[in-house]
Amino acid sequence: MKVKRPSTLGASKKKPVSKKDKKPNVSLPRGVKRRELINRVVYTAETQVEGKKIFLGTFNTLRLAKEAYDREQKKLGRLPMAEISPLGLLAAEASAIDIHTKRGIVVEDGKYRAKIKIGSKFYSLGTFKYKCEAIFKYDNIARVFRRPTNGEYPNHPETVMITKEKFGKFAKVFFQVDMEKIEIKFKCVPTIQEADVIIQELTKRYREAKKTR
């Protein structure tokens, strides 16, 4: 007796899921959601008061969204949630970045150093144990000077300040980009006068780049 095999005509075949179609499996903090836009990834924060949802804003990074949620919880007098380590936040945010991208990143002694060329000079933004940390530092400064980023910060910052902190005859130079404070690293710590010259040069370059917006 012959057994009829079921016809496969018209049967829909499952398409293999490509790496691009796969969404990162990221565990987000409470009150934070991940949104994929056309050319970037953003994070939204929201909370509930008496059963009503309150939107707290849209942010470029998971960390900023979580900070906004935590601030609102403190205002409402609620107990803080269990903290997620900074490394955990970085790992979650790194899911939106191509693992092979490394613009502005160099490997030195098994660590990752972020550096950026502004004018004719290279400025070091620090050395980090994890690649994603170096990428965030570079991308944050790159968007100040309208440079291509690795994907995390495609938009321009709202506020930029270039400042110094004095200690004795010397000073440290910092970028204040929105809510992020990033120190510029030097082989020799500059004097106060040298720091002022550096700040003037960087401010000039920033103003020139800002005109290209």
Residue 27 included in any domain:
no
What's residue 129's pLDDT? Answer: 87
What's residue 61's pLDDT? Answer: 84
Would the pLDDT of 146 be above 70? yes
Q: For the chain, give the longest Cα–Cα distance.
A: 99
- Report the pLDDT averaged over residues 43-64: 86
What's residue 185's pLDDT? Answer: 93
Range of the domain at 151: 105-210
- Judgement on whether residues 149 and 62 belong to the same structural domain of the protein: no
Rounded Cα distance between 203 and 178, Å, is 16
- Report the pLDDT averaged over residues 40-55: 85
DSSP annotation of 213 reads: -
- Judgement on whether residues 133 and 189 belong to the same structural domain of the protein: yes
Percent of the chain past pLDDT 90, that is, above it, reads 27
- Judgement on whether residues 144 and 92 belong to the same structural domain of the protein: no
Q: Mind listing the pLDDT tens digit for each residue in 180-210?
A: 899 999 989 999 999 999 999 999 999 998 8
- Judgement on whether residues 110 and 157 belong to the same structural domain of the protein: yes
Q: Provide the token pair at 157.
A: 């910052």
Residue 11 included in any domain:
no
Q: Mind listing the pLDDT tens digit for each residue in 76-101?
A: 777 554 454 555 555 555 544 444 55
- Judgement on whether residues 111 and 92 belong to the same structural domain of the protein: no
Q: Mind listing the pLDDT tens digit for each residue in 94-131?
A: 544 444 557 899 888 888 899 999 988 999 999 988 88
Q: Name the amino acid, one letter, at 138.
A: Y
What's residue 3's pLDDT? Answer: 54
SS3 for 1-66 is CCCCCCCCCCCCCCCCCCCCCCCCCCCCCCCEEEEECCCCEEEEEEEEECCEEEEEEEECCHHHHH
Residue 172's pLDDT band (cuts 50, 70, 90): very high
- Report the pLDDT averaged over residues 62-80: 79
What's residue 88's pLDDT? Answer: 54
Average pLDDT, the chain: 79
Would the pLDDT of 9 be above 50? yes
Task: Name the domain count of the chain.
Answer: 2
- Judgement on whether residues 122 and 89 belong to the same structural domain of the protein: no
∠ Cα 3 9 10 (to 5°)? 140
Would the pLDDT of 8 be above 60? no
Nearest in space to 190 (alpha carbons), one of 164, 157, 213: 164
Nearest in space to 37 (alpha carbons), one of 202, 196, 154, 209: 154
Nearest in space to 144 (alpha carbons), one of 182, 111, 109, 100: 182
Q: Name the amino acid, one letter, at 134.
A: A
- Report the pLDDT averaged over residues 128-135: 85
As beta bridge partners, residue 182 has 175
- Report the pLDDT averaged over residues 147-153: 73
